[in-house]
Amino acid sequence: MVIRLKNAHVMDGEKCLIQDLEIPCMEPRSHCGGSVSVLELQNCFLLPGLVDVHVHLREPGFFYKETIFTGTRAAARGGYSDVCAMPNLNPVPDCPAHLAPELEAIKRDAVVRVHPYGALTVGEQGEVLADLAGLAPHVVAFSDDGRGVQSESMMRQAMLEAKRLGKVVAAHCEDNRLLRGGYIHDGVYARRHGHRGICSESEWGPVARDLRLVRETGCAYHVCHVSAKETVALIRQAKAEGLNVTCETGPHYLLKNDEMLQEDGRFKMNPPIRGEEDRQALLEGLLDGTVDMIATDHAPHSAEEKGRGLEKSLMGVVGLETAFPVLYTGLVKTGILPLETLVQRMSVAPRARFGLPQGADYSIWDLDASYSIDPAEFQTMGRATPFAGETVFGRCKATIVGGVLAWLEQGTKFGCNPGSGEIGGRMV
């Protein structure tokens, strides 16, 4: 198949060139046959494949929430060529034997590249160090995401071993002592509606502790899902000191504040959406480079688990299929952020930090396409998004991963599986 772009806007994270292009690619799944076809795309933007360093694919262990196939299909629809999968699974990948089922599922079902995290501690319990040396050749980094490492001595031990192995520690920073039963930000909405709030110190306190340990150990350190203005300030200072520190934030933290919350589980995630001052600090950090990258923290749950209201729903929202459109609409079209910077934060920077391979990876976008976000159209099994019903610009027309067509918009079929005529036996 050839994808032909007339007057293509080619973006590499630094500049944009306008030119005609022809991109040869294999049929979906490398074993597929069929005649050569040409897809004409006028005035589309050719971006590098996007990279999400923080997703929850739920397999193995939680198949009713998501699978490797559904999660990576959602990633492809969102323009992603690479995703990094967090280890809060069953079994927790805390040793090579426990990682094996996840690797098998990735090899069997993934339609984009999946780079698994290894757990920092056994069972993500924070008590005994995981087999980091055994995991290191097979994982992108180490994390106990979903649970903060409460013990300073355990985090020091983990950092020293990760340093020895040349791996990044990606930290879920949360002090359990400060949660006090909270489930949304301790701010305007919580006080107005009688909800229990989560204070910002529960995030920035562990970050401050970990930065002390980074100074001591020299570990490569990455802060997951930054939400608080104090955290941004701490990371900015750490970078000024020359520490090997990076961080990510999510689309919902950049575009929402706690006054926009609704009594709906689709607005509940961990950490929570915080106040307007926090949002502005994150935007400032994104612009000045303090915030290195944007990751979705894609965390699907069942409809029942997210249908219990703001207080009782499980924490986590989906984001792979909406991230680029909502950010392009909310930040680029409004003049807050250049498109080049958005591409850098969503592709170039995460690939560089985590040492991810760069192949023939492209996402092709019609940035003039306007539509309403409809969770019923999602490829992910999760439906909970705070952006449901919002009008956005930017539709991913195709995603190519290593020269293989992973997504083609408009439901195009290819003769891949005998008798099905569909990609992997399913409609794209």
Query: Domains in the chain: how many in total?
Result: 1
DSSP state of 18: E
In a domain, 56, yes or no: yes
Q: Which residues are catalytic?
A: 297
Mean pLDDT calculated for residue range 248-269: 98
CA distance 333 to 367: 10
Domain region containing 80: 49-360+370-394
Q: Token pair for residue 123?
A: 């069972």
The pLDDT-based confidence of 24 (bands split at 50, 70, 90) is: confident
What are the tokens at 152? 């300073």
Give φ, ψ of 175 to 5 degrees.
-90, 110
Question: How many CB atoms lie under 10 A from the CB of residue 183?
Answer: 18
Do β-strands 404-408 and 391-401 pair in parallel, antiparallel, or remain unpaired?
Answer: antiparallel
Is 153 within a domain? yes
Specify if 133 maps to a domain: yes
Q: What is residue 229's predicted lDDT score, i.e. its pLDDT?
A: 98
Confidence grade of residue 358 (pLDDT, cut at 50, 70, 90): confident
Which residue is listed with tokens 């599922």? Answer: 105
Neighbours of 393 (CB within 10 A): 18
What CATH number is associated with residue 229? 3.20.20.140
- Of 368 and 428, more confident: 368
pLDDT at 27: 67
Mean pLDDT of 254-280: 98
Would 401 be classed as within a structural domain?
Answer: no
pLDDT in tens, 143-187: 999 999 999 999 999 999 999 999 999 999 999 999 999 999 999
Tokens read off for 73: 């299909």
Q: Give the residue among 6, 2, 52 at the shortest CA–CA distance from 23.
A: 2
The DSSP bridge partners found for residue 26 are: 404
Q: How many residues would you count in the chain?
A: 428
Q: Which H helix or E strand runs over 3?
A: strand 2-11
Considering the domain boundaries, does residue 15 fall inside one?
no
Instruction: Give pLDDT tens digits for 106-129.
Output: 999 999 999 999 999 999 999 999
Amino acid making up residue 343: V
The Cβ-side half-sphere exposure at 337, using a 13 Å CA radius, reads 29
DSSP state of 203: H
| Per-residue pLDDT tens digits for 178-219 | 999 999 999 999 999 999 999 999 999 999 999 999 999 999
Residues 253 and 275: their CA atoms lie apart, in Å, by 9
pLDDT tens digits along 323-332: 999 999 999 9
Q: Is residue 412 part of a domain?
A: no
DSSP-derived letter for residue 177 is G
Average per-residue pLDDT for the chain: 92
- Is 406 part of a structural domain of the chain? no
pLDDT score, position 14: 67
Q: What is the dihedral of CA 321, 324, 330, 331, to 10 degrees?
A: 160
Residue 9 counted as domain residue: no
